[in-house]
Amino acid sequence: MSDIKKIRPLVGQVIKTVQETPDTWTLHLQTNDRAYLAGQFVSIDPHQFEELSEILAYVEHKKSRKELIRAYSMASAPHEETVSITIKPERYNAEHDDYPPILSPFLASGFMMGRTIKFLGYTGPYVLPINLEEQADQVLHLVAGSGAVPNFALLKDQLIGNKNPGVHHTLIDVNRTYEDIIYREELALLAQKYPKRFTLVHLLTREQRDGFVHGRPSLELIKSHVKDPSRVLAYACGSAITKWQRKKAESTGVPAAPRFIESIAEIMQALGIDKKRFKHESYG
Ligand SMILES: Cc1cc2nc3c(=O)[nH]c(=O)nc-3n(C[C@H](O)[C@H](O)[C@H](O)COP(=O)(O)OP(=O)(O)OC[C@H]3O[C@@H](n4cnc5c(N)ncnc54)[C@H](O)[C@@H]3O)c2cc1C
């Protein structure tokens, strides 16, 4: 068994690809080392892919620096046979992006089937504490879009693994439309199978639909799902103001608009949830 704390070079073969939504794909990697914790991530160096060599050469020339490795949370829980990652590709917007995204549009595709991917693993602090039951009665999962990835792993690990049975899990999952919901069927199955331990709340910001809350997560909505703020641990994953947006805000003097994580942080504060009880991860 490898040392779980040590980041090491690993190799996996894509043995299954799943199109989760119109643009989001999950790659299931077969690898002989699966010693990780639910909620952690792997890192992938785009330079290993021959197809990306010219775009990398071009942007590295333009940026005058080498492109870095990219992190991808694992959607899988350690008890599962494959290590899986779910990629929602970034999109180039000529109005405010200086460069096109490089790795995510390449990975988010059925063409990855059968490919070998080198990656670094496993690391990341977005994990539940070992003594969860002592610290909390409830875990509040607050996710938007591909932010669902690590929380899906946490949920599967706790529910299917029957860990900390005294702890209730509430997932507030925010997406634009019904079609954008990643792991829609798997989440519904978990809610059906573990009704006493898991509450699933879907919010759609751009669509009205029966059984789904319309709009962004409000203080009132989140409050209605929090049993006791002193016994809840909140795990939020989604977009946050990126370093590029911060730089732009500094240079133009126009403050960057709060994104999902900033809005949730404000709500956590209003609910009186201690900062130490609020963990967040952003993808920017
Ligand atoms: C801990 C962690 C976990 C993550 N997990 C996931 C996951 O599960 N699924 C997922 O889809 N993503 C995840 N991500 C995001 C992922 O790591 C990548 O950032 C994402 O896929 C974009 O990579 P890219 O190569 O496609 O885009 P990039 O090439 O990195 O570009 C992204 C954006 O940054 C802009 N940009 C890049 N360089 C510059 C520059 N020099 N100046 C100005 N703007 C610039 C580009 O214009 C573009 O809009 C995670 C990130 C972190 C930190």
State if residue 246 touches ligand 1 by the CB under 6 angstroms criterion. no
Is the same domain home to 236 and 152?
Answer: yes
Give the confidence band of 1 by pLDDT, cuts at 50, 70, 90: very low
Is the same domain home to 268 and 148?
Answer: yes
Please give the tally of structural domains in the chain: 2
The C-alpha atoms of residue 13 and residue 24 are separated, in whole angstroms, by: 19
pLDDT at 2: 54
Choose one of 28, 84, 95, 99 to mutate for the ligand 1 pocket test, by most ligand atoms within 8 angstroms of C-beta. 99
Is the same domain home to 89 and 193?
Answer: no
Question: Which atom of ligand 1 is found nearest the CA of 247?
Answer: 43
Is the same domain home to 142 and 194?
Answer: yes
Burial of 51: CB neighbours in 10 Å, binned 0-12, 13-18, 19+: exposed
Is the same domain home to 20 and 89?
Answer: yes
For residue 202, give the CATH number of its domain.
Answer: 3.40.50.80
Is the same domain home to 151 and 71?
Answer: no
Is the same domain home to 191 and 149?
Answer: yes
Domain assignment present for residue 43? The answer is: yes
Residue the block writes with tokens 């703020």: 229
For residue 116, the one-letter residue type is T
- Name 264's bridge partners: none
Is the same domain home to 138 and 272?
Answer: yes
State if residue 63 touches ligand 1 by the CB under 6 angstroms criterion. yes
State if residue 194 touches ligand 1 by the CB under 6 angstroms criterion. no
Task: Report how far ligand 1's centroid is from the alpha carbon of 101 (Å).
Answer: 7
State if residue 41 touches ligand 1 by the CB under 6 angstroms criterion. yes
Is the same domain home to 222 and 260?
Answer: yes
Residues 223-269 pLDDT 10s: 999 999 999 999 999 999 988 888 889 999 999 999 999 999 999 99
Q: Which pair of structure tokens corresponds to residue 243?
A: 């370093």
Domain assignment present for residue 3? The answer is: no
Is the same domain home to 52 and 163?
Answer: no
For 8, half-sphere exposure in the C-beta direction (CA atoms, 13 angstrom radius) is 15
Domain, as residue range, for 99 = 8-123
Residue where a domain terminates, one of 96, 123, 150: 123
Task: Report how far ligand 1's centroid is from the alpha carbon of 273 (Å).
Answer: 30
Packed helices 184-193 and 148-160: angle between N→C axes, nearest 10 degrees: 30
Domain assignment present for residue 2? The answer is: no
For residue 26, give the CATH number of its domain.
Answer: 2.40.30.10
Choose one of 26, 28, 61, 72 to mutate for the ligand 1 pocket test, by most ligand atoms within 8 angstroms of C-beta. 72
The C-alpha atoms of residue 247 and residue 117 are separated, in whole angstroms, by: 33
Residues 185-228 pLDDT 10s: 999 999 999 999 999 999 999 999 998 999 999 999 999 999 99
Is the same domain home to 98 and 170?
Answer: no
Give the confidence band of 177 by pLDDT, cuts at 50, 70, 90: very high
Choose one of 24, 152, 283 to mutate for the ligand 1 pocket test, by most ligand atoms within 8 angstroms of C-beta. 283
